[in-house]
Amino acid sequence: MDESAFNALAEAELARIETALEDCGADIDIEPKPGGVLEIEFDNGSKMIINRHTAAREIWVAARSGGFHFRPEAGQWLNTRDGAELYAMLSKLVSEQGGTAINVSRGA
Protein backbone atom coordinates (compact mmCIF):
# COMPACT_ATOMS: atom_id res chain seq x y z
CA MET A 1 0.00 0.00 0.00
CA ASP A 2 1.44 3.37 -0.92
CA GLU A 3 1.75 6.24 1.55
CA SER A 4 -1.24 8.28 0.39
CA ALA A 5 -3.55 5.24 0.40
CA PHE A 6 -2.39 4.31 3.89
CA ASN A 7 -2.82 7.86 5.19
CA ALA A 8 -6.39 7.99 3.82
CA LEU A 9 -7.20 4.60 5.37
CA ALA A 10 -5.65 5.55 8.72
CA GLU A 11 -7.35 8.97 8.85
CA ALA A 12 -10.74 7.35 8.24
CA GLU A 13 -10.04 4.82 11.01
CA LEU A 14 -8.88 7.54 13.43
CA ALA A 15 -12.16 9.40 12.78
CA ARG A 16 -14.09 6.16 13.55
CA ILE A 17 -12.02 5.68 16.71
CA GLU A 18 -12.77 9.24 17.84
CA THR A 19 -16.51 8.69 17.32
CA ALA A 20 -16.40 5.30 19.04
CA LEU A 21 -14.61 6.80 22.05
CA GLU A 22 -17.08 9.69 22.24
CA ASP A 23 -19.97 7.19 22.18
CA CYS A 24 -18.56 4.58 24.59
CA GLY A 25 -19.72 6.26 27.81
CA ALA A 26 -16.25 6.73 29.31
CA ASP A 27 -15.53 10.03 31.05
CA ILE A 28 -12.67 11.13 28.80
CA ASP A 29 -11.59 14.17 26.81
CA ILE A 30 -10.53 13.54 23.22
CA GLU A 31 -8.43 16.06 21.37
CA PRO A 32 -7.50 15.50 17.72
CA LYS A 33 -4.01 16.84 16.95
CA PRO A 34 -2.40 17.58 13.57
CA GLY A 35 -0.66 14.73 11.77
CA GLY A 36 -3.09 11.95 12.59
CA VAL A 37 -2.96 12.00 16.39
CA LEU A 38 -5.72 11.55 18.99
CA GLU A 39 -4.90 12.52 22.56
CA ILE A 40 -7.23 11.04 25.17
CA GLU A 41 -7.19 12.36 28.71
CA PHE A 42 -8.85 10.51 31.58
CA ASP A 43 -10.34 11.96 34.78
CA ASN A 44 -7.39 10.54 36.72
CA GLY A 45 -5.02 12.74 34.68
CA SER A 46 -3.50 9.92 32.65
CA LYS A 47 -3.35 10.11 28.86
CA MET A 48 -3.50 7.74 25.93
CA ILE A 49 -2.19 8.60 22.48
CA ILE A 50 -3.46 7.00 19.28
CA ASN A 51 -1.72 7.90 16.07
CA ARG A 52 -0.96 6.78 12.57
CA HIS A 53 2.61 5.75 11.83
CA THR A 54 2.98 6.15 8.10
CA ALA A 55 6.48 4.67 7.75
CA ALA A 56 5.40 1.39 9.39
CA ARG A 57 1.85 1.55 7.87
CA GLU A 58 0.36 1.05 11.33
CA ILE A 59 -1.84 2.73 13.92
CA TRP A 60 -0.04 2.99 17.25
CA VAL A 61 -1.64 3.15 20.70
CA ALA A 62 0.38 4.39 23.68
CA ALA A 63 -1.43 3.57 26.92
CA ARG A 64 -0.38 3.45 30.54
CA SER A 65 -0.01 -0.33 30.21
CA GLY A 66 2.25 -0.16 27.14
CA GLY A 67 2.53 0.48 23.43
CA PHE A 68 0.61 -1.43 20.77
CA HIS A 69 0.88 -1.47 16.98
CA PHE A 70 -2.01 -2.34 14.65
CA ARG A 71 -1.75 -3.22 10.96
CA PRO A 72 -4.66 -3.31 8.49
CA GLU A 73 -5.55 -6.87 7.48
CA ALA A 74 -8.74 -8.14 5.83
CA GLY A 75 -10.78 -5.06 6.80
CA GLN A 76 -9.61 -4.97 10.43
CA TRP A 77 -6.70 -3.46 12.33
CA LEU A 78 -4.84 -6.26 14.12
CA ASN A 79 -2.18 -6.11 16.83
CA THR A 80 1.18 -7.04 15.35
CA ARG A 81 2.10 -9.06 18.47
CA ASP A 82 -0.91 -11.22 19.17
CA GLY A 83 -3.46 -10.52 16.43
CA ALA A 84 -5.95 -8.83 18.80
CA GLU A 85 -8.45 -6.57 17.05
CA LEU A 86 -8.04 -2.80 17.60
CA TYR A 87 -11.47 -2.06 19.10
CA ALA A 88 -11.33 -5.04 21.46
CA MET A 89 -7.94 -3.78 22.67
CA LEU A 90 -9.24 -0.21 23.00
CA SER A 91 -12.13 -1.50 25.14
CA LYS A 92 -9.63 -3.26 27.41
CA LEU A 93 -7.14 -0.39 27.54
CA VAL A 94 -9.70 2.39 28.12
CA SER A 95 -11.43 0.27 30.80
CA GLU A 96 -8.13 -0.39 32.58
CA GLN A 97 -6.86 3.16 32.37
CA GLY A 98 -10.19 4.82 33.20
CA GLY A 99 -11.17 2.39 35.94
CA THR A 100 -14.62 1.68 34.50
CA ALA A 101 -15.63 -1.20 32.23
CA ILE A 102 -16.67 0.13 28.82
CA ASN A 103 -17.07 -1.21 25.31
CA VAL A 104 -15.54 0.63 22.36
CA SER A 105 -17.25 -0.56 19.18
CA ARG A 106 -16.29 0.24 15.61
CA GLY A 107 -19.73 1.13 14.29
CA ALA A 108 -20.12 2.03 10.61
The boundaries of the domain holding residue 50 are: 3-98
Mean pLDDT lowest among 9-13, 21-25, 54-58, 61-65: 21-25
CATH number at residue 48: 3.30.920.10
Pairing mode of beta strands 37-42, 76-79: unpaired
Measured distance CA(27)–CA(36) in Å, rounded: 22
Measured on CA atoms in the order 12, 74, 90, 55, is the torsion positive or negative?
Answer: negative
Measured distance CA(66)–CA(61) in Å, rounded: 8
Question: What pLDDT is attached to residue 27?
Answer: 87
Q: pLDDT, tens digit, for every residue of 68-86?
A: 999 999 999 999 999 999 9
Measured distance CA(33)–CA(39) in Å, rounded: 7
What's the total number of domains in the chain?
1
Q: Is residue 105 part of a domain?
A: no
**Is the distance from CB of 19 to CB of 87 less than 8 angstroms?**
no
Instruction: Give pTM, 2 decimals.
Output: 0.93
pLDDT greater than 80 at residue 108: no
